[in-house]
Amino acid sequence: MLTLENVSAGYTAVSVLKGVSARVEAGQFVAIVGPNGAGKSTLFKTISGVVAPSAGTIRFEGQDLRTVPAARRAHLGIAHVPEGRQVFPSLSVMENLEMGAYTEAGRRAWKRSLDLIFGLMPVLAERRGQYAGTLSGGEQQMVAIGRGLASAPKLLMLDEPSMGLAPAIADFIFDKLIEIRAQTKLTILLVEQRVAEALESADHGYVLEAGRVVLDGTNATLRADDRVRQAYLGM
Amino acid sequence: MAQVVENMLQALAAGLLAGAIYGLMCVGLGLIFGVMRVINFAQGDVMMLGMYAAYYLFLSFGVQAVFGSVFGPYVAILLSGPLLFAFGYLIHRFLISRVTGARTTRLEGEGHFAQLILTLGVALVLQNGGLIVFGSVLASIRTPLSSSAWEIGPLWGEDVAVFVNKARGIAALISVAAMIVLSAVITRSRLGKALRASADNPEAATYMGIDIDRSHRIAFGLGSAITAVAGGLLATNYPFHPYIGIDYVIVMYAGVVLGGLGSITGAFWGGMTIGLVQQLSTLILPTQLQNAAIFAVFLLIVFFRPQGFFGRMVERT
Amino acid sequence: MPTLRSLGPILVAAALYAGLAALVTNSYYQLTLTLVLVWAIFGLSWNLLSGYTGLVSFGHAAFFGLGAYTTALGQIYLGLSPWLLIPAGAVVGGLAGLIVGIPTFRLRGHYFALAMLAYPLAMLYVFEWLGFQEVTLPIKRDAPFAYMQFSDPRLYTLVALVMLLAVVLITRAIEGSRFGMALLAIKQNEAAAEAAGINTLAWKLRAIALSGAIAGAVGAFYAVVLLVVTPPSVFGMLVSAQALTVSMFGGVGTVWGPLIGAAVLIPVSEILHAELGARIPGIQGVIFGLAIMAVILLAPEGVYWRVRDRLRQRRAAAPVPEAPPAAVEAGVVPFAAPARPSRARRRTGEVLLSVRGLSKSFGGLKAVQNVSFDVHEGMILGIIGPNGAGKTTLFNLLNGFLRPDAGQVIVAGRDRVGAMPHELARAGIGRTFQVMRPFLRMSVRDNVRVGAYLRAGSEDEARRLADAAVEQVGLSAVADRIAGQLTTKELRLMELARALAGQPRLLLLDETLAGLGHGEADEVVAVIRRLAEGGITIVIIEHTMQAMVRLVDHFLVLDHGAVLVDGEPEQVTRDPQVIEAYLGKKWVAHAHA
């Protein structure tokens, strides 16, 4: 569904990604793990078009994304749940979800998506009229995930959904991801720092370090490889 | 005593009427700033264009003949809205968009300069181009209502009465109505929500599939149209000339800051406050200083409550 | 100080201009020549504040107008000569600058710009109300020279030229000095400037006072030239816009910008006005506006910078290649090098920094909760923790950017909670930032010099300290390269050098290794280790433990704002709590299974 070939990207003074290749098959759950600063978020931004690649190609369902402007990519079925949640603070929870459903597919599936979202996260139904900016971190993360689901995507990309959340809340969010996966069979691309949780339910994992893929394989392979541990802990 | 009360009431009425129009004017600027974070120097001149657009629309296309001299001006004013929307939309598409958005981050903070000076250039062209095209003779959109008034009163016995100029009263009512319609559009429509989302977090809005450039173009067009309509309403009471924008751009900045940069209803109340300050100040200050009073209030607000008095509930992150 | 060589082009230009003025006999053209200089000076005045600090002033007409009215009213009511009144205008303008600056510098960005707009316009109405709608300077036929009423208009141009040269000299002297560097640092990143020991408010006030003084002086002169002063002609928005326009057209932040802008725009507008003004009033403004728009669209950084960057590119025909990716590690994570041996020794130094019960919340989020630790002289302390653990907030509390809700920050025995960042910098706390903000157009050496002024008494000393710091981090070879051409690693080292140049006792490093490959990180680690051996105490933040294990003597692990573990590297990397914070608790569960 999504293939990256030798993608390099970065910002004015800093190059972050240095030739990343990866692929996500339809229906797969792929996790990208790696220490901070490895370029995971930049990789996501490159896929959703906010950062332009300096080299390499990205294909989504066979289509070369280079010619597709960032705002069009959501309409192709790519939903990006960004790092740090980034909800629309002065919009209500409901309006945030409506913005998720801004795409054609999202509007068509609106009723169904809403049932799914409120079924998974009933607290959002309770808070539907509240400004998203006044919610707690965990609730905002739920809004962000709900917003991603509301677009009725083909590919759901989640960037560190556990970041900055208390452990119990982070566990809760992870459980929700597993439920989403079980209920929708969505293709999911997840970036996480917490390796174990990320790999637990993923079909395939990539370890990113300093802008390069240093290791990839199935859950079991990665877990068994000491290098993952080294990448994080240094010994 | 009765005279004092009457003067106060009269000034209050004048302030409310002027304030409603100023409020609408400020909403135009506030919308542009709120969505794009761009200070538009040319907003006063867009208002001037709105005045002339209404003026010429009234005189041509049979507007005067069809709608008469009482309704004609208001029809012309409303027609000027779409015209100036197109104008703002195109100005953004071909000029402003080139120095805002992603391109500005390329240079060391110089994008900010670039955008300011670009709108300054647009302002200069509009003012002076206006002089060439429209001439320097004062113009006005006179309606029979401009010279008649409603009398409210007598109040408190026989001595106190307030006169409300009909043209100003109607202009204020139309302003308030326009504001209500606009609030409904911004809060309820899909477009309004997309604009607010773009303002809140452009990056996340892009992830939703919202084209930020398009949001900005629409905001610029809409902001131009709103201020232009306010200008047209103002023109039914006051004569105007091609350089009139400079006088009002200040009122607009003051109102928008007062209301809290980025807040649209705040901008309306900010403009209203400016109108009240301007008119009430005449009770204690010489008329020449009424604009100085605006600045004094403006500076006090900026120093002591820079988030404005009517700022949004939720801070932009 | 500006060298004679760097002033050469300006002196030549001045001489040519004087020669041109001497040849012009038409009094209208001569007036244009004078006005070019007037607006160039005014542009330089604006540039001194806004160009160097990045705080856009829409209100320079306030100072200009006060100067103009100083001359007009001083001559009418006090009978004073402009020779005295122009300096008096400078004093008035300078004082006005201070009075305006003290409250207004509390504002940032758009608010600053809009507040500045209000001053001249308020003054405009006040002066109209005072009855100074049109003030004409009295003609002094008996003593034309004493009252600067020259019969030969060329003399006005000459006086203006002298004023301009003086202002150019002042600007050039400032540009390369501690003053100019402070302003540039403010423009780039005010917070970082404070952290580097720059008292930003003091420098900004100096800048606006000087800028106001120059504007006041040139406004005073303008009144002498035109003999009539009206509020709109000196306080009007177009006057402020004029300063902005000539500077931005020519290029902001350089002495050449306003000169080029005035030299091109003023004659164009005056000639258009003279040739077409009668037939098509306003044509001048239209052309002017179009010219501005064209420049912004084609060369938004201004004519000077565009031309200079072009020339640079052409000269450096072969662009400096980005360093090849340091030895690709073909998917292998190298094993950790053995830890440093002399650890025990390092715990014995006296306590340089002691943090006691530090807490800070933002709304409901407890960013830092009750954090306590000691930093001993000469040690390297690593602060690690996952994203959002509160590491950077902790640094901001340590160097005074944030005020803690509770707790103490004791530096060398003294509680420094509430001190300003520049005061803490003076007390010996240096810091680098996660997000680098180098001055891309300045050389490495000059970038580093900004940090050296903290200790340096003179320009020479600053240069020496900067060179020493550049050498310490091993960048001597690229010291003259502009920062825009450096690699990530070199930029990180440059930031390190900038902090070092201030001779800190304690260095706070915020993610200095972020974004570096293994080889690069190792090089930077080696540099940091050398610094520590040289006696600097270091606290370093990192997300990853990778390179850190080899670097630090002691770890402080933060999670959710609180200290999770405080211990030596070997111990920390085996601590189940740490492993859980980093790899997730399921990892631990599996490990034990």
Query: Which residue, of A128, A153, A178, is where some domain finishes?
Result: A153
Of A86, A95, A134, the CB nearest to B204: A86
- The Cα C429–Cα C410 span in angstroms is 12
Q: Any bridge partners for residue C406, and if so which?
A: C359
- Of C185, C201, C236, the position where a domain reaches its end is C236
pLDDT higher than threshold 90 for residue C148: no
Both A125 and A137 in one domain: the answer is yes
* pLDDT tens by residue, A146-185: 999 999 999 999 998 987 777 778 888 888 999 999 999 8
CATH number at residue C350: 3.40.50.300
Q: Is A15 on the interface with C (CB under 8 A)?
A: yes
* pLDDT recorded at residue A232: 67
CA distance to C362, C375, C557, per residue, from C371 (Å)? 16, 13, 11
Per the structure, the count of domains in chain A is 2
Subunits in contact with chain B (3 or more CB pairs closer than 8 Å): A, C
Structural domain contains residue A171: no
Q: Which of B190-199, C290-299, C353-362, C552-561 has the lowest mean pLDDT?
A: C290-299
Angle between helices B43-59 and B110-134 in degrees, nearest 10? 30
Q: Is pLDDT of C87 > 90?
A: yes
Given a cut of 70, is residue C103 above it in pLDDT? yes
Q: State the sign of the Cα–Cα–Cα–Cα dihedral B233, B238, B241, B242.
A: negative
Task: Tell me: do A143 and A193 sit in the same domain.
Answer: no
- Contact criterion met (CB below 8 Å) for C556 and C389: no
Cross-chain Cβ contact B196/A90 below 8 Å:
yes
Contact between C50 and C252 under an 8 Å Cβ cutoff? The reply is yes
Would you state the pLDDT for residue A60?
A: 95
Asked if residue C243 is part of any domain, the answer here is no
Beta bridge partners of A92: A131
Distance CA B176, CA B23 (A): 9
What's the per-residue H, E or C state across chain A?
Answer: CEEEEEEEEECCCCEEEEEEEEEECCCCEEEEECCCCCCHHHHHHHHHCCCCEEEEEEEECCEEHHHCCHHHHHHHCEEEECCCCCCCCCCEHHHHHHHHCCCHHHHHCHHHHHHHHHHHCHHHHHCCCCEHHHCCHHHHHHHHHHHHHHCCCCEEEEECCCCCCCHHHHHHHHHHHHHHHHHHCCEEEEEECCHHHHHHHCCEEEEEECCEEEEEECHHHHHHCHHHHHHHHCC
Subunits close to A (at least 3 CB pairs below 8 A)? B, C
Q: Which of A87, A93, A90, A80 is nearest to A40 (CA)?
A: A80
Among the listed residues B245, B290, B252, the one whose alpha carbon sits nearest the alpha carbon of residue C124 = B290
B205: pLDDT strictly greater than 80: yes
pLDDT for the residue numbered C42:
95
Q: Is residue A181 part of a domain?
A: no
Judge if A192 and A149 occupy the same domain. no
For the segment B4-16, what is each residue's pLDDT rounded down to a tens digit? Answer: 777 888 888 888 9
Average the pLDDT over C379-397 and give the result: 85
Tell me which amino acid residue C163 is: M
Residue contact C282–B132, C-beta within 8 A = yes
Confidence of residue C467 (pLDDT cuts 50, 70, 90): very high
pLDDT over 90 percentage in chain C: 21
Q: At what angle do helices C61-73 and C109-129 cross, to 10 degrees?
A: 20
Extents of the domains making up chain B: 2-304
C13 burial (CB, 10 Å; 0-12 / 13-18 / 19+) is middle
pLDDT reading at C500 higher than 50? yes
Domain stops at, among C216, C236, C256: C236
C371 closest CA partner among C408, C317, C337? C408
Q: CB neighbours of C89 closer than 8 A, spacing ≥ 6?
A: C66, C67, C68, C70, C71, C216, C217, C219, C220, C221
Which of C47, C50, C58, C121 is the best residue to mutate to test the B interface, defined by the most B CB atoms within 10 Å of its own CB? Answer: C121
Q: Quick check: is C301 in a domain? A: no
User: A-chain residues within 8 Å CB-CB of C332?
Assistant: 214, 227
Q: pLDDT > 70: what percent of chain A?
A: 96
- CATH code, B2-304: 1.10.3470
CA-based nearest distance C527→chain A, Å: 19
Q: Which pLDDT value is given to residue C9?
A: 82
Residue bearing tokens 């580093």: C448
| Shortest Cα distance, chain C CAs vs residue A135, angstroms | 10
Note the pLDDT of residue B41.
85
Touching check for B207 and chain A: CB below 8 Å?
yes
Statement: residue B20 has pLDDT above 60? yes
Token pair for B130: 């206006």
* Buried/exposed code over C98-132 (b: 16+ C-beta within 10 A; e: otherwise): eebbeebbebeebbbbbbbbbbbbbbbbbbbbeeb
Indicate if A228 and A193 belong to the same structural domain: yes
Q: Which of C220, C236, C252 is the last residue of a domain?
A: C236
Q: Indicate whether C99 and C214 sit together in one domain.
A: yes
Q: Do A235 and C336 touch (CB under 8 A)?
A: yes
The answer to whether residue C134 sits within a structural domain is: yes
Edge to edge, the sheet with strand C351-362 lists C365-376, C351-362, C406-411, C414-415
* A99 belongs to a structural domain: yes
Residues in contact with C318: Cβ distance below 8 Å, sequence separation at least 6, in sequence order: none
Calpha distance A230→A209 (Å, rounded): 11
Q: What number is the average pLDDT over the span C520-529?
A: 87
Is the link from the previous residue into C325 a cis peptide, with omega within 30 of 0? Answer: no
Give the one of B190, B209, B314 whose C-beta lies nearest to A74's C-beta: B209
> Looking at the predicted structure, is the pLDDT value of residue B176 above 50?
yes
Q: Quick one: pLDDT at residue C329?
A: 35
Please compute, for residue A14, the number of CA atoms within 13 A of its CA located in the half-sphere on the CB side.
22
From chain C, the residues in CB contact with A210 under 8 A are: 515-518, 521
> Does B204 reach chain A within 8 Å, measured CB to CB?
yes
Task: Compute CA distances B21 → B26, B144, B168, B235, B280, whole Å.
Answer: 9, 20, 9, 11, 16
Averaged pLDDT for residues C103-118: 79
pLDDT reading at C64 higher than 80: yes
d(CA A181, CA C564): 33
Nearest to C542 by CA among C492, C500, C475, C470: C492
Q: For chain C, what is the mean pLDDT?
A: 83
Residue C484, in any domain of the structure = no
When pLDDT is averaged across residues C501-514 and rounded to a whole number, the result is: 87
What percent of chain C has pLDDT above 70? Answer: 90
pLDDT band at B157 (very low <50, low <70, confident <90, very high): low
A54 inside domain = yes
More confident residue, C494 or A222: C494
What does the angle CA B41 – CA B45 – CA B46 come to, to the nearest 5 degrees?
Answer: 100
The closest of C228, C205, C243, C212 to C66, measured between CA atoms, is: C212
Q: What is the pLDDT of residue C551?
A: 86
Structure tokens at B26: 């400020």
Q: Output C37 or C254, whichever has higher pLDDT.
A: C37
SS3 C40: helix
pLDDT on residue C2? 47
Compute the radius of gyration of chain C from its Cα atoms: 29
Q: Which domain holds residue A117?
A: 78-153
Is residue B102 pLDDT above 50, yes or no?
no
Nearest-angstrom CA–CA distance, B189 and B27: 18
Answer yes or no: do A160 and C387 touch at CB < 8 A: yes
Query: Which chain C residues are within 8 Å of A166, Cβ to Cβ?
Result: 560
Listed range (A4-8, B11-15, C322-326, C451-455) with the worst mean pLDDT? C322-326
Position A166 in a domain: no
Number of Cβ within 10 Å of residue C521's Cβ equals 26
What letter does residue C503 receive in the DSSP assignment? Answer: -
Inter-chain residue contact C129 with B107, CB threshold 8 Å? no
Given a contact cutoff of 8 angstroms between Cβ atoms, the answer to whether A147 and A85 are in contact is: no
- Verify whether the Cβ–Cβ distance C300 to B121 is below 8 Å: no
pLDDT of residue A193: 76
Residue C339 has pLDDT above 70, yes or no: no
As a whole number, mean pLDDT of residues B152-167 equals 75
Nearest alpha-carbon partner for B224 in B20, B102, B51, B11? B51
Residue C466 lies in a domain: no
User: Among residues C488, C459, C493, which one has the least CA distance to residue C477?
Assistant: C493
Q: How far is B260 from chain A (nearest CA, A)?
A: 14
Contacts of C322 in chain A (CB under 8 A): 15
Give the domain range for residue C555: 343-428+540-593
Paired sense of beta strands A187-192 and C365-376, if any: unpaired
Most confident by average pLDDT, A41-50, C150-159, C512-521: A41-50
Closest CB from A75, A82, A131 relative to B203: A82
Q: pLDDT by residue (tens digit) across C272-294?
A: 877 777 777 777 778 778 877 88
User: Which whole number is the average pLDDT over A59-88?
Assistant: 92
Q: Across residues C234-247, what is the average pLDDT?
A: 85
Whether the Cβ atoms of residue B116 and residue C300 lie closer than 8 Å to each other: no
Q: Which residue has the tokens 């990892």?
A: C587
Question: In the predicted model, what is the mean pLDDT of chain B?
Answer: 83
Out of C56, C110, C439, the one facing B113 most closely (by C-beta) is C56
Confidence of residue C332 (pLDDT cuts 50, 70, 90): very low
Q: For tokens 């907030």, name the residue.
A: C393
Domain assignment present for residue C485? The answer is no
Q: What ipTM was assigned to the predicted interfaces of this complex?
A: 0.93
- Name residues 147-166 of chain A within 8 A of C (Cβ): 160, 163-164, 166
Question: For A88-102, B133-147, C274-288, C535-549, which range has the lowest pLDDT when averaged over its residues?
Answer: C274-288
A94 touches chain B (CB under 8 A): no
Counting as contact any 3 or more CB pairs under 8 A, the partners of C are A, B
Clarify whether residues A84 and A68 are in a common domain.
Answer: no
φ and ψ at residue A202, rounded to 5 degrees: -80, 150
Q: How many domains does chain C have?
A: 2
pLDDT tens for C550-570 read 888 888 988 888 888 888 888
